[in-house]
């Protein structure tokens, strides 16, 4: 009888409350078969099971985030146990070229791929990068996507800054309240930012907090009417 001795990667998530570095499958190129993945660090909070579909999810509280996320076990490519002190790194705020960042300034915020789930804050007027930090809190925010930049990203399959959130800077390195909803953006699937709960496009929000991999918007948001973009009713 054959005995399987090699564990699947997700089986190394053995201790609830333990800290791990986990590599997650993000996408597989349909043409080349190239695998795209990302690595997170965080605490295993438990498991969730979809009995109807027969699949399991690991619940991981990622370092730098404010809530735990579910990850399909089949998308977990590698797992490395970590010491809590290493995994639970503090949030950061690093001025760029010693520039100052003033509260109340109108800024653009976008993910910085060279930091640990961090963001860049750029002056909306001068386009100068001011600082890098863990989370950013904005009010009177709007979601922007450069369609030409998106098309180039899709065509070349290379990440570049073409989508951002613009708004008035309120604070940085804050937690996400419970009445905020996750906002998603994937240039390969949609030309717009999408509200996760309703799967509808979102153009603006009263408040936005960028944290970890996502933006979170206050639930009362203005959505796009794709059939009435210019204020005309096309029945």
Residue pair 95/123 in contact (Cβ under 8 Å)? The answer is: no
* Terminal-to-terminal C-alpha distance of the chain: 67
pLDDT digits (tens, 9 = 90+) for 4-30: 567 889 999 988 878 888 999 988 887
Distance of alpha carbon 46 from alpha carbon 68, whole angstroms: 10
Q: Average pLDDT, stretch 25-44?
A: 85
**3-class secondary structure per residue, the chain:** CCCCCCCCHHHHCCCCCCEEEEEEEEEECCCCCCEEEEEEEEEEEEEEEECCCCEEEEEEEECCCCCCEEEEHHHEEEEEEECHHHHCCCCCEEECCCCCCCCCCEEEEEEECCCCCEEEEEECCCCCEEEEECEEEEEEEEEEECHHHHHHHHHHCCCCCCEEEEEEEEEECCCCCCCEEEEECCCCCCCCCEECCCCEEEEEEEEEEEECCEEEEECCEEECCCCCCCCCCCC
pLDDT at site 191: 92
CATH number among 2.30.30, 3.30.450, 1.20.120, 2.60.120, domain 9-87: 2.30.30
Q: Is the pLDDT of residue 196 over 90?
A: no
Q: How confident is the model at residue 150 (pLDDT cuts 50, 70, 90)?
A: very high
- High-pLDDT (> 90) share of the chain, %: 40
**How much is the mean pLDDT over the chain?**
83
Query: Which of 63-72, 113-122, 193-202 has maximum average pLDDT?
Result: 193-202
Q: Tokens 């990302």 belong to which residue?
A: 38
Residue pair 29/36 in contact (Cβ under 8 Å)? The answer is: yes
pLDDT at site 85: 47
Pick from 37-46, 136-145, 164-173: least confident: 37-46
Distance of alpha carbon 185 from alpha carbon 84, whole angstroms: 31
pLDDT at site 139: 96
pLDDT digits (tens, 9 = 90+) for 89-147: 557 788 999 899 999 999 999 988 776 668 999 999 999 999 998 889 999 999 999 99
State the span(s) of the chain assigned CATH 2.30.30.
9-87
pLDDT at site 143: 96
Q: How confident is the model at residue 226 (pLDDT cuts 50, 70, 90)?
A: very low
Q: Average pLDDT, stretch 60-85?
A: 80
pLDDT at site 220: 64
Distance of alpha carbon 222 from alpha carbon 217, whole angstroms: 11
Q: Is the pLDDT of residue 229 over 60?
A: no
* Burial 28-39, CB ≥16 within 10 A → b, else e: eeeeeeeeeeee
């Amino acid at each position: 009888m054959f005995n399987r001795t090699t564990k699947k990667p997700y089986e190394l998530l053995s201790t609830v409350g333990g800290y791990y570095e986990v590599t997650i499958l993000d996408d597989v190129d349909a043409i080349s078969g190239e695998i795209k993945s990302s690595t997170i660090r965080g605490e295993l909070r438990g498991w969730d099971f979809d009995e109807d579909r027969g699949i399991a999810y690991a619940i991981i509280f990622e370092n730098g985030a404010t809530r735990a996320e579910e990850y399909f076990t089949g998308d977990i490519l590698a797992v490395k146990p970590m010491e809590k002190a290493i995994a639970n790194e503090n949030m950061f705020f690093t001025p760029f070229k010693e520039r100052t960042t003033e509260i109340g300034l109108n800024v653009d915020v976008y993910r910085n791929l060279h930091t640990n789930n961090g963001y860049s804050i750029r002056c909306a007027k001068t386009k100068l990068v001011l600082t890098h930090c863990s989370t950013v809190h904005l009010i009177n925010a709007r979601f922007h996507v450069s369609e030409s930049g998106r098309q180039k990203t899709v065509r070349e399959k290379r990440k570049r800054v073409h989508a951002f959130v613009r708004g008035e800077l309120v604070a940085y390195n804050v937690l996400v309240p419970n009445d905020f909803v996750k906002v998603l953006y994937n240039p390969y699937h949609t030309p717009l930012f999408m509200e996760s709960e309703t799967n509808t496009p979102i153009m603006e929000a009263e408040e936005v907090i960028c944290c970890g991999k996502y933006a979170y918007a206050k639930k009362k948001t203005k959505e796009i009417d794709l059939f009435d973009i210019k204020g005309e009713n096309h029945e």
